[in-house]
Amino acid sequence: DQQVKQNSPSLSVQEGRISILNCDYTNSMFDYFLWYKKYPAEGPTFLISISSIKDKNEDGRFTVFLNKSAKHLSLHIVPSQPGDSAVYFCAASDRGSTLGRLYFGRGTQLTVWP
């Protein structure tokens, strides 16, 4: 049972435009959310995170929005650049867990074309 869902396997955006990647979760105990970026033949790298006490977190061109009532978060990339082309994974964690274990979505392949 997938507790973190990324329903769009792919997204194609023109350079300079906004990319919006979506993620839904089902477990109400999740209170910490992360986005990872993955290039081919490399491991995932941490991109940005948000705690459930916030509804927005911004880091340069990347902004993550959290809607707790809808159990939905999104990653906005503005402006999109060709170097942003990668697979983006949404992940969630329950801070009550002693492990800080992450649950990952299936990923969204973002392609930014010139």
Partner 1 sequence: NAGVTQTPKFQVLKTGQSMTLQCAQDMNHEYMSWYRQDPGMGLRLIHYSVGAGITDQGEVPNGYNVSRSTTEDFPLRLLSAAPSQTSVYFCASSSSRSWAAGETQYFGPGTRLLVL
Residues 11-30 that bind partner 1 (CB under 8 A): none
Residue 102 in contact with partner 1, rule: CB under 8 A = yes
Residue 9 in contact with partner 1, rule: CB under 8 A = yes
Residue 49 in contact with partner 1, rule: CB under 8 A = yes
DSSP 22: E
Percent helix / strand / coil, the chain, rounded to 5:
5, 55, 45
Amino acid, res. 1:
D
CB of 78 to partner 1, least distance (A): 22
Residue 56 in contact with partner 1, rule: CB under 8 A = no
Part of the chain binding partner 1 (CB under 8 A), chosen from 11-19, 45-53, 55-63, 68-76:
45-53
Q: How many CA atoms lie within 13 A of 50 on its CB side?
A: 22
Place of tokens 């869902």: 5
Distances (CA, A) of 61 to 17, 64, 79, 80: 11, 10, 7, 8
Binding footprint of partner 1 on the chain (CB under 8 A): 2, 4, 6, 9, 31-32, 34, 41-46, 49, 89, 91, 93-107
